[in-house]
RNA sequence: GGAGAAAUGGCAGAGUGGUCGAAUGCGGCAGUCUUGAAAACUGUUGAGGGUCACACCUCCGGGGGUUCGAAUCCCUCUUUCUCCGCCA
């Protein structure tokens, strides 16, 4: 959520920047300022009404104590009127505050200067690529065929137990999954991230804190009976660990990593691009989350990008890094880098990581602040990234490492798997 | 799931209708003393709104109510603890 003060100070810059998201923000921002003016005005009126009422109450107390009941009763009538007034004003304040709040929820974050304008993923900007695209054997198979051939992932079993998009990993497939999780967590730990195990269900307040609610309600599974949401990413529980906190400056940076399954309804997705592991309702992901001093958040973002690169380099997967354009940028993000691995057998790029800086947008919702040297409270910056999402990494490995008589295991994973080939 | 108890500032813990935004202790910060540190002593120390700055307003788990006036009384929800039951 944007800060009112920032909107007031930088309205024109915000309007220009939000054009990159193809949004005409001018009416929204003007309305926000107008509502805030109204809110302040109402608040001031209410305050002075309450102040008058408070001082009268004190007088009444004194009058009763000194036995002047008659005079007290005269004042009581006055406070009665003030009470009516303050009730009306209080209702008006509630209304305008809620209106302002829901308006602010509708305004996305301001894209960074480096974010290219654009509408779709076609307009994303490739900024880096690495790794050779392997020459595969003739009759190379896509991962869903390989999964069947070597009996390591069973999509039909998942359909039987739950439904489409809930695969069952079997034997070496399951072991490879577990190996990847351990490997990612170890790499993140090495890089200074503290491993956490967090709940896989969150309450409504957490959904609001990181921005999944109110907009993306339909993307999360909701347990109505207990009013809880299945997490779509570890970002939600991990970032919300710090909801409402006031940090000390010397606590920065806070760096955490967590493995969780992720649950996404993916309403409306269909077609060839969602075959196999390409798009699932439940998948595994290892996430990294940072809470940073505002002066360091972009440096931290670059550091996260470099960190993810080292992992892909070790896995020897061909990948590229994209800077997302305004139209593709997530609602709460200022700047996002997507990592894509090349799926040779499908002849397409698969997104495997998304690394973002949210600046103060989430912090404002979370009320995640720190005290600076002058003792002033300011919003911290939050960042997160996948390091990494499992299914498409797995797809990339299966497809790119396939040989005539099986699938080889990337060298760094062999100690984790306990085998070097799937056959 | 049943029965009971509780929820107060960073923490501990007073406060049961009227200068209570809240005693006291610990912790934090600043200072005195000291070569330095510790100890001791003195001062200071919650959050939000509002203001140029004050004033002022709101907040004692959340919401609602009674009252001129609520941390304090009533209703309700949530959470925690104890006991019983069930259970990986």
The integer distance in angstroms from the CA atom of A246 to the C1' atom of B18 is 35
The integer distance in angstroms from the CA atom of A202 to the C1' atom of B4 is 30
Q: Which nucleotide's C1' sits nearest to the alpha carbon of A78?
A: B68
Could you tell me the residue ranges of all domains in chain A?
4-105, 121-422
Are A368 and A349 contacting, i.e. CB atoms less than 8 angstroms apart?
A: no
Is A314 buried (19+), middle (13-18) or exposed (0-12) by CB count in 10 A?
A: middle
The integer distance in angstroms from the CA atom of A58 to the C1' atom of B80 is 37
Q: So what's the ipTM on this one?
A: 0.84
Residues in chain A, pLDDT under 50: none
Protein residue minimizing CA–C1' distance to B45: A375
Task: Indicate the fold that domain A4-105 takes in CATH.
Answer: Helix Hairpins (1.10.287)
Q: H or E segment at A329?
A: none
Instruction: Quote the CA–CA distance of A153 and A156 in Å, as a whole number.
Output: 9
The integer distance in angstroms from the CA atom of A160 to the C1' atom of B86 is 31
Whole-number pLDDT of residue A213: 84
Task: For residue range A52-106, list pLDDT tens digits in order.
Answer: 999 888 888 888 877 787 888 888 888 888 888 888 898 889 889 989 998 999 9
Q: H or E segment at A158?
A: helix A155-161
The integer distance in angstroms from the CA atom of A269 to the C1' atom of B7 is 47
A151 Rama class: left (phi>0) / alpha (psi -120 to 50) / beta: left
Are A192 and A205 contacting, i.e. CB atoms less than 8 angstroms apart?
A: no
The integer distance in angstroms from the CA atom of A222 to the C1' atom of B44 is 49
Task: For residue range A368-397, list pLDDT tens digits in order.
Answer: 998 887 778 889 999 999 999 999 999 999
Establish how many alpha carbons lie within 13 A of residue A381's alpha carbon, considering only the half-sphere containing its beta carbon.
Answer: 20
Is A336 buried (19+), middle (13-18) or exposed (0-12) by CB count in 10 A?
A: buried
Residue A166's nearest CA partner among A273, A267, A276 is A276
Instruction: Quote the CA–CA distance of A137 and A412 in Å, as a whole number.
Output: 23
Task: Report the DSSP pairing between strands A406-408 and A421-422.
Answer: antiparallel
The integer distance in angstroms from the CA atom of A264 to the C1' atom of B79 is 29
Task: For residue range A264-277, list pLDDT tens digits in order.
Answer: 998 666 665 678 89
Residue A60's nearest CA partner among A82, A47, A77 is A77
Whole-number pLDDT of residue A211: 87
**Footprint on protein of nucleic strand B, Cβ below 7 A:** A 40, 43-44, 46-48, 50-51, 53-58, 60-61, 64, 76, 79-80, 83, 246, 369, 377
Q: Which nucleotide's C1' sits nearest to the alpha carbon of A75?
A: B68
The integer distance in angstroms from the CA atom of A226 to the C1' atom of B79 is 15
Whole-number pLDDT of residue A269: 61
CA distances from A110 to A10, A89, A309, A357 (A): 11, 34, 26, 11
The integer distance in angstroms from the CA atom of A5 to the C1' atom of B9 is 29
The architecture that CATH gives domain A121-422 is 2-Layer Sandwich (3.30)
- Looking only at Cα atoms, what is the longest distance across chain A? 104
Protein residue minimizing CA–C1' distance to B58: A47
Whole-number pLDDT of residue A186: 98
Q: Which nucleotide's C1' sits nearest to the alpha carbon of A203?
A: B78
Whole-number pLDDT of residue A271: 64
Q: Which nucleotide's C1' sits nearest to the alpha carbon of A54?
A: B69
Whole-number pLDDT of residue A330: 93
Peptide bond into A4 cis (omega under 30): no
Whole-number pLDDT of residue A270: 63
Chain B footprint bases within 7 A of protein beta carbons: 18-19, 47-51, 55-58, 68-69
């Amino acid at each position: 959520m944007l800060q009112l003060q920032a909107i007031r100070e930088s309205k024109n810059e915000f309007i220009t920047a939000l054009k990159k998201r193809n949004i005409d923000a001018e009416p929204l921002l003007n309305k926000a300022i107008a509502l805030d003016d109204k809110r302040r005005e109402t608040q001031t009126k209410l305050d002075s009404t309450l102040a008058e009422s408070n001082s009268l109450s004190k007088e009444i107390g004194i009058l009763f104590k000194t036995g002047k009941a008659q005079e007290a009763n005269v004042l009581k009538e006055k406070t009665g009127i003030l009470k009516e007034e303050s009730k009306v004003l209080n209702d008006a304040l509630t209304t305008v505050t809620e209106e302002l709040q829901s308006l602010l929820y509708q305004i996305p974050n301001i894209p960074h200067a480096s974010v290219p304008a654009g509408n779709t993923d076609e307009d994303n900007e490739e900024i880096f690529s690495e790794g050779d695209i392997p020459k595969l054997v003739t009759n190379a198979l896509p991962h869903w065929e390989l999964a069947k051939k070597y009996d390591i992932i069973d999509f039909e079993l998942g359909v039987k137990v739950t439904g489409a998009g809930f695969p069952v990993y079997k034997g070496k497939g399951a072991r490879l999954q577990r190996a990847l999780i351990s490997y990612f967590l170890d790499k993140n730990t090495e890089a200074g991230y503290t491993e956490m195990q967090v709940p896989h269900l969150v309450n409504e307040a957490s959904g609001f804190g990181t921005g999944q609610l109110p907009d993306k309600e339909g993307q999360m599974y909701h347990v109505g009976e207990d009013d809880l949401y299945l997490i779509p990413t570890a970002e939600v529980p991990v970032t919300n660990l710090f909801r409402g906190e006031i940090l000390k400056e010397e606590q920065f940076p806070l760096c955490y990593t967590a493995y969780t399954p992720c649950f996404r309804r993916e309403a409306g997705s269909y077609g060839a691009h969602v075959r196999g592991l390409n798009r699932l309702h439940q998948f595994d992901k290892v996430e990294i989350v940072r809470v940073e001093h505002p002066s360091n958040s972009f440096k931290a973002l670059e550091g996260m990008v470099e960190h993810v690169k080292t992992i892909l380099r070790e896995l020897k997967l061909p990948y590229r890094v994209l800077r997302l354009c305004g139209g593709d940028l997530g609602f709460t993000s200022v700047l996002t880098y997507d990592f894509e691995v090349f799926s040779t057998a499908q002849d397409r790029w698969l997104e495997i990581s998304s690394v973002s800086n949210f600046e103060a947008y989430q912090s404002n919702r979370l009320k995640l602040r720190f005290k600076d040297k002058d003792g002033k409270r300011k919003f911290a910056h939050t960042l997160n990234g996948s390091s990494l999402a499992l299914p498409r990494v797995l797809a990339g490995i299966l497809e790119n490492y396939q040989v005539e008589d099986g699938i080889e295991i990337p060298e760094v994973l062999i100690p984790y798997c306990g085998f070097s080939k799937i056959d």
